[in-house]
Amino acid sequence: MTALPTDFSVTSSKGTPTPSPAWPIDSPFAVTAVSGASITDPDALSAVSVGSISAPASYSAVSESAIASPSVSTAVSIASIAAPLLFSGIAAASISTPIAYSSVSDAAISSPVAWSAEAIAGISSPSALTAVSEAAISAPTTITATSGTATTPPFPLNHARILYDNLLLNYAGVSVNSGTNGSYALIPNTYKGWEFTHDGSSTFSWIAELPANVDMDTFCVGAHNISSINGTVEIFYDTDAAIGGFISVGTATPTDGKPIMMHLSSTVSVRRVQVSITSSVAGYVKIGYISAGEALQLQRPFFSGHTPITMADNTVYRNNMTDGGEFTSRSIIRKGFSNSVSLDNVDRTWIQNYFLDFKEVSKEYLYFIAWNLLEYPNEVGLCMTGGDISLQFSGTRDLMTINWSQTGNGSV
């Protein structure tokens, strides 16, 4: 291996650096403000005098002599006119041959169409309308003013009917074709009555005869047990005392012991009244009270709050118990019905003419009452008043209020 020399020197070849940029940068200097004296003063322009404006020039018309006369040109010699240039003709082949257009024939134009007029038959003929006859207009009717509340019967059937004056009490005779004590049916109590044993096939009749004809419109049967034999009751009246000639008022087949009322729309002249019982079942029958006469028609109907007598049970019980508080039995002491009657705004005229008689008779006698024969013909009571009937003014004109309580007969 060759040894490296250790004795050597290094020479710098670095030159003087070239400045960038190539020229030197001048030193900064302070810029002083420009003084006011260095600004040139403005010049004052003087106005241009009038005399410096040129006067306008007047132009005169040019005379005809000023126009130069035309000069006569001399003829140009033939020699001075250049000879015309001769152009070679264009070949015939380069010009297109003309095309001959034929005229359009008349056949190409459509012939006009002739329109015919609309036929008259296509228009409907008018129809003649006849005038409306006067008969199509109803003749006017005269409207009468509605009268006030009526105070004289008859009243609608939804107004209560009360049969209190039993005209049969003034009988000339009572007869039956079977049974005993026919006259007991006219005693104004229900404990006694007409009694018989029905055979299940015959018709059992009761007849009451009056000494003279009287007007009647209502017939009632109460305190009976006709339903126990599934019997049918029919009521008749006769206008004289001759045999036969009875006219049927109506029939009823009761399902319990509640009273029966049959009411006619108008009164009839009556001399005899007959009650007949028919049945296909044999058994004991009792009829406690029979009444006929002309019913009192209440001026006002019963409204909400009224309890029908047939739904107002009033039963008296006796409950038997041991000393230890155990129930041993219950006994029914008494059956019956009780309710109250209330009528408002009743005319004093109607009360004086029709109601005061009932007020007095009700103190001693039984009466039949149907609160609404129109809708509930089976809701009839055989009653007595619980005390005196109360009458008092209601404070409106001469209208009055009527109140009383009543007790109805129970089932037999």
Q: How does DSSP assign 48-78, residue by residue?
A: PPGGGSPPPPPPPPPPGGGSPPPPPPPPPPG
Kindly give, in sequence order, each residue whose CB lies less than 8 Å from that of residue 362, ignoring residues fewer than 6 positions away.
Answer: 164, 384, 385, 389, 404
Nearest to 223 by CA among 196, 192, 249, 182: 192
Residue 78 in domain: no
Residue 375 in domain: yes
Ordered mean pLDDT values, 10 residues apiece, the chain (412 residues): 52 56 61 59 63 61 53 49 51 68 67 75 75 73 76 95 98 96 95 96 97 98 97 97 93 96 97 98 97 98 91 93 93 93 95 97 97 96 96 89 94 54
Facing residues of 218 across strands? 263, 293
Angstrom distance (rounded) from CA 24 to CA 342: 142
Kindly give, in sequence order, each residue whose CB lies less than 8 Å from that of residue 291, ignoring residues fewer than 6 positions away.
Answer: 163, 166, 168, 219, 220, 222, 366, 368
Q: Could you say which DSSP state residue 389 is in? A: P
Residue 203 DSSP SS3 = strand
CB 234 within 8 Å of CB 276: yes
Residue 235 in domain: yes
Residue 193 in domain: yes
CATH code of the domain in which 209 resides: 2.60.120.260
Please tell me the pTM assigned to this model.
0.65
Q: What is the pLDDT of residue 209?
A: 97
Angstrom distance (rounded) from CA 31 to CA 81: 85
Nearest to 358 by CA among 151, 164, 153, 159: 164
Residue 205 in domain: yes
Q: In the chain, how many domains are there?
A: 1
Kindly give, in sequence order, each residue whose CB lies less than 8 Å from that of residue 219, ignoring residues fewer than 6 positions away.
Answer: 235, 237, 249, 261, 262, 273, 291, 292
Question: Cis omega (within 30 of 0) on the bond before 19?
Answer: no
Residue 352 in domain: yes
Residue 259 in domain: yes
Nearest to 341 by CA among 393, 387, 374, 287: 387
Q: Could you say which DSSP state residue 324 is in? A: T
Nearest to 310 by CA among 370, 363, 261, 362: 370
Residue 117 in domain: no
CB 242 within 8 Å of CB 140: no
Which residue range is the domain that position 197 belongs to?
A: 161-302+348-379
